[in-house]
Chains A and B, each alone.
Chain A
């Protein structure tokens, strides 16, 4: 795993410069200025936008405020998708900063899950971790962990906050390293497998495309072929999403913004 550490760090510390603007039909008592933030790729919108909410609510009356939701170019943003995923899927070809519109009315019930509290984000995050472990280890590793280990995993992620500048990131570099280590101290157990196995039972993956009806592709996929050869990302794509590799289109799969060719030697 050590040779992959750079990739893990790049993903964990990845940021997206974002500009939040209040929807024009929201009722305000005075003009609402846009709000700029560097959003962490690995976190979730409703977890890292407290500052955004406070900023806009300062110019609104309480009675005009209900559940906050975000939209990009008319598409409601699913808070339960990681921020980096939303950006790569919807806005990666547009110029930075990422322009997100903030709403406090007319929650789109048909499109978005409600997010009543931070507990909802934690429950969602943990259920993803559990489902991944069901695939990797038949849930053995996650179930053997104590409640405090689950909490540590969550706290590591929850402490990845939005910042205003890269400078702010640099000055808190030592603190940020702690969060990364705090998270990986537990997560590494979920990434291990017995030496004789040569890999997980199945690889947890989801492939998102804007061109399809269904939200994502998720299938059972073993890390090792019948002949003992290790599968690569290319093998996975050929098996479950061959259209992504059509030579005419030549799209490049992205994993949290990083072009995948460089890191697809071994899944």
Chain B
């Protein structure tokens, strides 16, 4: 098998804890997030999830970074499902995205998320369309050269596109990137 084939994979588990709180007649939802676990294809059994009440729903988010040799840029593939395997539709994932990113996503330049076949697994994933990547990455690279600072392409790219689809990078990623160089 070609060693250049492969993908980076991150799995993120989130408990959606629906708590109904009476506050002037309205109900509020609180989201409790488990800490992010970095897993390179970690099997589900190795991950401990505490299930407290029947109303808790654990959602497994999977993010894969692949390289598109056609566009010569990285591409973000993602999907989410409940632990019983039921997949989330794009609109359900969309609900988990923070408001400020929703506005940004609707403005573009990454204006398309579509469902596509994962080129290695052959299963349906949602994909952030890669054809505009160069458009928003070029200023980042140009600027870093101007101020003479090395930038890790993948880290920068992921920090820009990730939050749009619910993938948040800890600040330690930025620190690690500059330490390597």
Contact = CB atoms under 8 A, between A and B. Distances in A.
Contacts of B71: 131, 134
Interface residues of chain A: helix, strand, loop or mixed (majority): loop
A112 B131 CA distance: 24
Q: How large is the interface on B (under 10, 10 to 19, 20 to 34, 35 or more residues)?
A: 10 to 19
Contact of A113 (B5, B120, B124): B124
A113 B77 CA distance: 14
Interface string A189-224: 000000000000000100000000111101110000
A214 B120 contact: yes
Interface in B104-142: 114-117, 119-124, 131
A109 B124 contact: yes
Nearest to A132: B70
A220 B122 CA distance: 20
A214 B122 contact: yes
A95 B120 CA distance: 31
A80 B69 CA distance: 21
Contact of A110 (B70, B115, B123): B123
B87 A109 contact: yes
Given A78-B117, A80-B117, A110 B87 contact: yes
Contact of A214 (B69, B87, B115, B119): B119
Contacts of B70: 131, 134-135, 204, 218
A114 interface: yes
Contacts of B119: 214-216, 218
Nearest to A114: B115
Interface of B: 5, 69-71, 85-87, 114-117, 119-124, 131
Q: Which 5 A-B pairs have the closest CB atoms?
A: A215-B122, A109-B87, A134-B70, A131-B70, A113-B115
18 contacts: A109-B86, A109-B87, A110-B85, A110-B123, A110-B124, A111-B123, A113-B116, A113-B117, A114-B124, A130-B131, A135-B70, A214-B5, A214-B122, A215-B120, A215-B122, A218-B70, A219-B69, A220-B69
